[in-house]
Every structure is written in C-alpha cells, then in structure tokens.
Amino acid sequence: MIDDGVASFDAQRAALLRVAYRMLGTMADAEDVLQDAFIRWAGTDREAVRVPAAFLRRMVTRLCLDHLKSARVRRQEYVGPWLPEPIVETDPVEDVTLPLMLALERLSPLERAAFLLHDVFGESFDDVAHAIGRDAAACRQLAARAREHVRSERTRFPVERDHGLAIAAAFFEASQIGDAAKLGALLAHDVRFHSDGGGKRPAAGRILDGAMEVMRGLSAILRLRRGQPSLVQHGFINGLPGFVTREADGLLQTTALLIEGDRIKAIYVMRNPDKLQHIHGPIH
C-alpha cells in the first residue's frame, strides 16, 4: 500500500511543479525543489497538517525563494541573453507566456512570488502572506508593484491557435529556403530577436532590435548554417506558437514566436543544450 505521505504529495505534484517552474524558469531547478519538498514532507507530522495542498504550496514557494538567491547570481554571470527552459505543448497555455516569464525575471523574488500566487494561481492575500512570510497588506503592495512592471508583457491580443501555427510554419519554411523577402514580410518593424546559447553553442550575444537588425542577423545565420535543420514538431513553446528542430549539429533547438495580428513581434530561440535535454509536455 502506498504511504499516505507519498500519495498526498503525488496528488499535488503537478500543481507544485507548475508553481516551481514559473518561479524558477527551469524544469531541472523546479524538480530539485520538489525533491527537497518531498524529503521535508516525509519528515513532517502530517496529522498536524489540516490542508496538505496549502501547506505544500507554502513550502515549495519558500524553497523557491531560497533558490532564487543563488540563481540570480548564476544568471548575472550567464553568457548572452537568458531565456527560460522551453516547455513544448500541443495547445497554448497562456497564464504565463514566455515574455511574461522574462518580465518576472526583473522582479524581486518576493514580488514574483506574490504576483504568481495571487494573480496567476488565484491565492488569497492571506494565503500568500502565509507562503512568503509577510503580512497581507505587504503582499498586496508586492503584487501591485509586480503588476505594474509586467503589465506590458501580458498578452493583449492572443493569437488564434491555428493562425499562430500557420505563421510559425511560414517562418520555418522561409528560414529553410533562405527566402529573405518572405522572412521580412513576416516581421513587425519593432521585432526583437532573443537567442540563448548559454556560451555552449553559437548564438547572438545580445538581443537584436528592429526589423533591419533582425534581418541582418537571420541572413548571417542562414549564410553560416551547415546543412538543413529538420522539423521535429510544430507546437507551442511556453504559450507561444513555434517549432522544434534538429539542427545540422544533431542537437535540438526551439523557436517561439510572439505574434500580433499577422506580424512577428519577437523571436525566441533556445540553443543551450543544457536546457534542451528534456522537452517536456504541458504542466497542468
């Protein structure tokens, strides 16, 4: 028979992983936090816990806050632009899209926790206060500050699923054949290009701004490319339409596109092999 502690933890695992991933930005770190939380849960007097889900959520949030202190130092030393580890889904999950995750990176850990727990996961401020060790009034202020910082990154005009996938397919096809005219026609004038190689694979060393600069960057990539990438799948990368490819070097790459109307506003390319070891499905 499964121990009650194991069963009660497993019942919450998916929800806890969802919280930890959105706090930390990588599945590996999120899974490490859950492992730590499970060990602590095993040593807890569970008979004294009235609501296991709330207790575990508070535990995971606190562990994430502790982890972020060291994670911030590592990211300050990161080579080139940083992107969260990609989560590949067949359908969009738009509570926290990739641009919003990047905006969360600019918040303090406490602001991030208050915003995610209240605005995204629907916790009351009393519950948020229990989770992060602040009073409810302070949590309201933290969430309000966070909301102001990330407001511009909320998806204002969510792209319809099939329309987004069609534009992603057109972008992939134009990239495959090196059709600069078709690529240029897909880009918004203020498009931005983010490429994360983590210092381990070639990638742009900074974010490229504007259609002209992005086109120059894409043209350079096409010129330097050795062999054609093969399509692994179309889908949604952290809530954005995109695709997974296997590049000429044999390694995976994900490309996510922020789309407004018929134009691509941002391109997010993940090339860091450390973040592509496990392409995960959706977190429910």
pLDDT digits (tens), the chain, 284 positions: 345 678 889 999 988 998 899 899 888 899 999 999 999 999 888 888 888 888 898 899 999 999 987 776 677 778 889 999 999 988 876 667 888 889 888 899 999 999 999 998 888 999 899 889 899 999 999 999 999 888 866 655 678 899 999 999 999 999 988 898 999 999 999 999 999 999 999 899 899 999 999 999 998 888 877 788 899 999 999 999 999 999 988 999 999 999 999 999 999 999 999 999 887 545 54
Q: Do 24 and 30 form a contact (C-beta atoms < 8 A)? A: yes
Question: How many Å is the Cα radius of gyration of the chain?
Answer: 20
Q: Where are the domain boundaries for CATH 3.10.450.50 in the chain? A: 161-275
CATH for the stretch 4-153: 1.20.140.160
What's the pLDDT score for residue 266?
96
Q: Do 170 and 182 form a contact (C-beta atoms < 8 A)? A: yes
SS3 71: helix
What's the pLDDT score for residue 2?
46
Distance CA 113, CA 62 (A): 9
Distance CA 18, CA 251 (A): 27
Phi, psi (deg, nearest 5) at residue 245: -125, 155
Q: Where are the domain boundaries for CATH 1.20.140.160 in the chain? A: 4-153
Task: Specify which residues 233 forms β-bridges with.
Answer: 244
What's the pLDDT score for residue 235?
94
Q: Do 108 and 134 form a contact (C-beta atoms < 8 A)? A: no
SS3 201: coil
47 contact partners, CB below 8 Å, separation of at least 6: none
CA-nearest of 208, 252, 256 to 81 is: 208
What would the two tokens of residue 240 be? Answer: 């954005």
Distance CA 3, CA 1 (A): 6
What's the pLDDT score for residue 242?
96
DSSP sequence for 120-162: IT---HHHHHHHHTS-HHHHHHHHHHHHHHHGGGS-SSPPPHH
Q: Taking every pair of C-alpha atoms in the chain, what is the biggest distance, in angstroms?
A: 66
Find the distance separating the first CA and the last CA of the chain, reported in whole Å.
26
CATH for the stretch 161-275: 3.10.450.50
Distances (CA, A) of 27 to 18, 20, 219, 282: 9, 8, 32, 12
pTM: 0.86
